Amino acid sequence: MNVLANLASLATNQIGLGSGDLIVQILSLASYLFIFVFIFYGQRLQMYIMIREVEGSLYKLKLMRDEGRKTAIETIKEIGKPATDPSVRVDRYLEYFTIAPQSMDPAGIVYKLDHILDVRDTRMKDEVKLMAPASDEVQVNNLENTLEAAMALNFIYKVVRHYYLQGKKTLSLYTIMQLQMILPMVMKEAEAYASALKAFAYGQPIGDGAGPLIAAKLMHGFEVRKVPKDCVVATVPFEGRTALVMKAEGPGGNVGKPGDAVKTLIEENKGKITAVIMIDAGLKLEGEAVGEIAEGIGAAIGGPGVDQFKIEEAIMADHIPLYAVIIKEDIGDAVSMMRKEISDAADKAIERIKSVVQERTKEGDQIIIVGVGNSIGVGQ
């Protein structure tokens, strides 16, 4: 009895129940209820908040995916003048996938991957030609790039939706937490692809075209010839040296195969090439300015690695030094319309190339300058 009396007294005096008016009692009860709810359901509440955040981003991704599909269909109808509605073919295109070769025995995998990518490229181009029969070669390339951007948005949306639904279904805090943590980066990339849609549809230069823009500035006014595959080269007198300036053929959306092109040029000029200089858009770190120029050693080229491998293999035969000049930009700038800072950086990059050539080669030498990237909206 004594214990009960003590508890009642505690409830009355210390906790607040039983004393004062009704409002104070309700407030005391509510505060205890809150404490218990947060102790036992705090993690679940946190998960629901995260789910809401992911859901918001998923809506935005869905909007971007739909916008991509709509832009692709509208552009195909406008340029390609198809006899039938291309929507079904576009939907099928958006679901295409590529299976990378088996790497258990890695010997020869680069050429297997190269072959698979070639087949993919041919298949995609044929599909675009069927969808848009009235389009010319440049427009086919631009349409292919537009569809690729729509495809990327579709893929991002589906993967995020997959993890969102899986997390919701299993109520796994860690699945949702991982998704929520990487979401800002995913959204940034998706937004870049969404803004790239119009660039590809209209044939505007993108940030990744910094390399081809610089090469085009160097080769403009000189005779240009084609080199395999989908690349162009011009012989340009440059600082007392002879430069073979190369880029993907523009102004259609095309990255070409610089690996094959460099190999061809080295074989054509056996033993004469004294340096290879590669210019490309490079990813900047946060805090670095867009359009900043940096210089280094090695093959400045992205993608699946096939072209980098081929270039490295080609220069190894004669031990040709390989220099790189990059124009810094973030992933968003690389796939969206070219920023003024990047366009303006072209002249500064040319000055840097000049100093590399003066310092690292002798007068009369023959060098290769490669502008790596997508040539969309950049002629020659």
Partner 1 sequence: MTTKSSSNGSQNKISTFVLAAVYLVIILAVASIIWGASSYYQKTATLETAATLMAIGFIAMALAGYILFQSRKRVAKLKIEQQPILTQIECKSCNDKVTREFKRGDYVFKDGEKCPKCSSLGMITAIYREVKEKEKPVNV
236 vs 221: CA distance, rounded Å? 9
295 binds partner 1, rule: CB under 8 A? no
What's the number of CA atoms in the CB half-sphere (13 Å) around residue 136?
A: 5
67 binds partner 1, rule: CB under 8 A? yes
Which of 80, 86, 211, 251 binds partner 1 (CB under 8 A)? It is 251
Contact 275, 365 (CB under 8 A): yes
379 binds partner 1, rule: CB under 8 A? yes
Q: Which is nearer to partner 1, 177 or 187 (CB)?
A: 187
Residue 353 amino acid letter: I
62 binds partner 1, rule: CB under 8 A? yes
Least CB distance from residue 206 to partner 1, whole Å?
10
Token pair 């992933």: residue: 331
Which of 97, 340, 359, 363 binds partner 1 (CB under 8 A)? It is 340
375 vs 233: CA distance, rounded Å? 13
Q: Which is nearer to partner 1, 20 or 298 (CB)?
A: 20
346 vs 343: CA distance, rounded Å? 6
Which of 80, 250, 259, 373 binds partner 1 (CB under 8 A)? It is 250
360 binds partner 1, rule: CB under 8 A? no
DSSP annotation string for 225-291? EEETTTEEEEEEEETTEEEEEEEE--SSS----HHHHHHHHHHHTTTTEEEEEEEEEEEPPTTSPTT
Least CB distance from residue 337 to partner 1, whole Å?
5
Question: Which residues, in sequence order, are bridge partners of residue 242?
Answer: 237, 366
366 binds partner 1, rule: CB under 8 A? no
Q: Which is nearer to partner 1, 145 or 308 (CB)?
A: 145
292 binds partner 1, rule: CB under 8 A? no
253 binds partner 1, rule: CB under 8 A? no
Contact 339, 333 (CB under 8 A): yes
Least CB distance from residue 288 to partner 1, whole Å?
9
Question: Which residues, in sequence order, are bridge partners of residue 241?
Answer: 238
Token pair 């090695």: residue: 298
153 binds partner 1, rule: CB under 8 A? no
Residue 352 amino acid letter: R
Which pair of structure tokens corresponds to residue 157? 């949306």
Binding range to partner 1, per CB under 8 A, among 90-98, 198-206, 233-241, 258-266: 198-206
216 binds partner 1, rule: CB under 8 A? yes
Find the helix or strand (DSSP H, E) in which 90 lies.
Answer: helix 87-94
14 vs 346: CA distance, rounded Å? 74
21-50: contacts with partner 1 (CB under 8 A): 21, 23-24, 27
185 binds partner 1, rule: CB under 8 A? no
64 binds partner 1, rule: CB under 8 A? yes
Which residues sit at the interface with partner 1, rule CB under 8 A?
21, 23-24, 27, 56, 59-60, 62-64, 66-67, 191, 194-195, 198, 202-205, 213, 216, 220, 250-251, 287, 337-343, 377-380
